Amino acid sequence: MSDGKERHIVHVDMDAFFAAIEQRDDPALKGRPVIIGADPKGGRGRGVVSTCSYEARKYGVKSAMPISEAWRRCPAGVFLPPDFKKYEAASGAIRSVFYEFTPDIEQISIDEAFLDITRSSHLFGGPFETCKKIKARVKEVTGLTCSVGMAPTKLAAKIASDLEKPDGLVLVKAGDLNSFLGPLDILKIWGLGPKTAQALRERGINTIGELAGCGARELSFLGKAGPELRASARGVDPREVKEGNGIKSVGNEITFETDTSDERTVKESLLALCDKVSSRLRAQGLKGRTITLKIRLEGFLTYTRAVTLAFATNFTDVINEHALELYRAFEKDNKKIRLLGVKVSALMPADLKESLFEDKNDTRRENTHKAIEAIREKFGKGAIYRAGGRKEI
């Protein structure tokens, strides 16, 4: 805050969000290791873990782990496909709770957000009481627990929220900021990756406090990142909580059961992916201008190609048309495809008009999408799918 008042930045992180929703909705899953992600196919699955319950984490299962490895570690786990429509509905309900406490909200993913309660905490009994009430209200509305960290900076608040999961509450006062950060491992710094951490460790720098004590010359090997990391380690983080929709992109991926070079399979999969992305964009009232195609070839070589449109869209056929163009222009060097992904970014509200002139094709597309959505809403998402598209993505 520019007036010199101590900031109260809160980071709210939902606990094992997807898995917790499944356990909430099916009491038989409570206390069991629940793993959300691709079908493990008895240890032969080729996708990854999206998230997992804390019971599954005791077996060493974690997000982004190959699903085959998760099955080997926890064959008795309950493996479920993600239900993004249900998760996004829960995320929207949680966001509504946040607005009960402050207008200053920065949603950074479907299951976490920053809140600035500096101006509003006095209305709820002070910063500590406000944090407790946020946790209680989220639980009341959704039946889910969250972990909360509060500190004078975004970096420290995010670190604090992670220290006592699940259902944690950690508060850091301004006067305690450096003593809080000092003993922690350098990897706790948001944005500091494994390679940078390894380079620092090779120089005997393992904790945030040790990094904070370094001179500029000692960190010169990091280039421009050196001064920024040192400032973060010293508790310097002037970033404000920025309001607005924190969703940066909407995308979906498919990992094939076996690497493929079959053009029909690829085209069907791309159409199904574009349809899924379109549905998620529309459910969130969004459209986007940039379409990105992700291709992973055999041998795990991964590439992305993107195109930015003149006008934003959330229509399946438009997204698919450009994704296909990107695919056809991509040189595969006769290698088979392991994974395909489609993402739409540069998002904006779906009702934002970018042109004074109405496109009759867009009107027809809009009516078609609404008809499809009405059928899926009434009879289920498998009731109708686009010709030439795979049913299951």
Helix H or strand E segment including 15: none
Q: 168 is in which domain, residue-wise? A: 1-174
Average pLDDT over residues 44-67: 90
Q: CATH number of the domain at 194, please.
A: 1.10.150.20
Q: In a 3-state reduction of DSSP, which class is residue 3?
A: coil
Dihedral sign computed on CA atoms, order 49, 293, 382, 260 = negative
DSSP one-letter string for 219-251: TGGGTTHHHHHHHHHTT---PPPPPS----EEE
Residue 196's Cβ-count burial label (10 Å; 0-12, 13-18, 19+) is middle
**pLDDT over 70 at 380, yes or no:** no
H helix intervals, the chain? 17-25, 54-57, 67-73, 84-99, 127-142, 154-161, 177-181, 194-201, 208-212, 225-233, 263-283, 316-329, 360-379
63 has a pLDDT exceeding 90 = no
CATH number at 109 reads: 3.30.70.270
β partners of residue 150? 10, 171
**Domain co-membership, 134 together with 163:** yes
Q: What φ, ψ does residue 153 adopt, rounded to 5°?
A: -130, 160
Read off the pLDDT band of 121 (50, 70, 90).
Answer: very high
Q: Which of 189, 191, 217 shows the shortest CA–CA distance to 203?
A: 217
Task: Look at residue 272 and tell me if it is in a domain.
Answer: yes
102 and 214 co-located in one domain: no
Q: Are strands 34-37 and 78-80 parallel, antiparallel or unpaired?
A: parallel
Any catalytic annotation for residue 268? no
The reply to whether 192 falls in a domain is yes
Q: Same domain, yes or no, for 14 and 107?
A: yes
**109-123, 130-144, 242-256, 264-278: least confidently modelled range:** 242-256
Residue of higher predicted confidence among 74 and 352: 74
- Distance CA(331)–CA(319), nearest Å, equals 21
Q: What average pLDDT does this structure show over 78-97? A: 90
Judge whether 110 lies within some domain.
yes
Integer Cα distance of 11 and 183 in angstroms: 21
User: CB under 8 Å to 354, separation ≥6 — which residues?
Assistant: 311, 312
The mean of the pLDDT values for the chain is: 87
Q: Which of 4-8, 212-216, 328-332 has the lowest mean pLDDT?
A: 4-8
The whole-number pLDDT of residue 244 equals 55
Are both 187 and 257 inside the same structural domain? no
Cα-based torsion angle of the residue sequence 118, 119, 124, 130 in order, rounded to the nearest 10 degrees: -20
- Kindly tell me if the per-residue pLDDT of 358 is higher than 50: no
Query: Does pLDDT of 375 surpass 90?
Result: no
Read off the CATH number of the domain in which 253 is found. 3.30.1490.100
In a domain, 324, yes or no: yes
Residues 224-240 have a mean pLDDT of 90
Does residue 142 sit in the same domain as residue 23? Answer: yes
Is the separation of the CB atoms in 335 and 320 below 8 Å?
no
218 C-beta neighbours (distance < 10 Å), count? 15
Q: What is the pLDDT of residue 246?
A: 59
Between 301 and 152, the higher pLDDT residue: 152
CA 232 centroid distance within chain: 23
Tell me the mean pLDDT in the region 41-48.
81
Smallest CA-to-CA distance from 273 within 214, 323, 217 is with 323
Higher pLDDT, 231 or 367: 231
Q: Are residues 118 and 266 in the same domain?
A: no
pLDDT attached to residue 383: 42
pLDDT beyond 80 at 393:
no
192 and 129 belong to one structural domain: no
Query: Is residue 390 in some structural domain?
Result: no
What is the number of structural domains in the chain?
Answer: 3
Query: Do 94 and 14 touch, CB atoms closer than 8 A?
Result: yes
Cα gap 393→224, rounded to integer Å: 42
**351 and 274 share one domain:** yes
Do 142 and 217 fall within a single domain?
no
> Among 22, 112, 253, 268, which one carries the catalytic annotation?
112
Residue with the bigger pLDDT between 247 and 32: it is 32
Co-location of 20 and 167 in the same domain: yes
Whether pLDDT at 54 is above 80: yes
Which residues make beta-bridge pairs with 147?
Answer: 13
Asked if residues 98 and 117 have their Cβ atoms less than 8 Å apart, the reply is: no
Would you say residue 392 lies in a domain? no
pLDDT tens, residue by residue, 328-351: 999 888 899 999 999 998 888 887
Report if residue 387 sits inside a domain.
no
Q: Is residue 45 part of a domain?
A: yes
Residues 6 and 110 in one domain: yes
Round to whole Å and give the CA distance between 20 and 12. 15
Lowest mean pLDDT among 118-122, 255-259, 286-290, 376-380: 376-380
User: Is the domain of 157 the same as that of 255?
Assistant: no
Question: What length does the chain have?
Answer: 393
pLDDT digits (tens, 9 = 90+) for 171-202: 999 999 999 999 999 999 987 888 889 999 99
pTM above 0.85, yes or no: no
| Helix, strand or coil, per DSSP, at residue 52 | strand
With 0-12 CB in 10 A as exposed, 13-18 as middle and 19+ as buried, what is 96? exposed
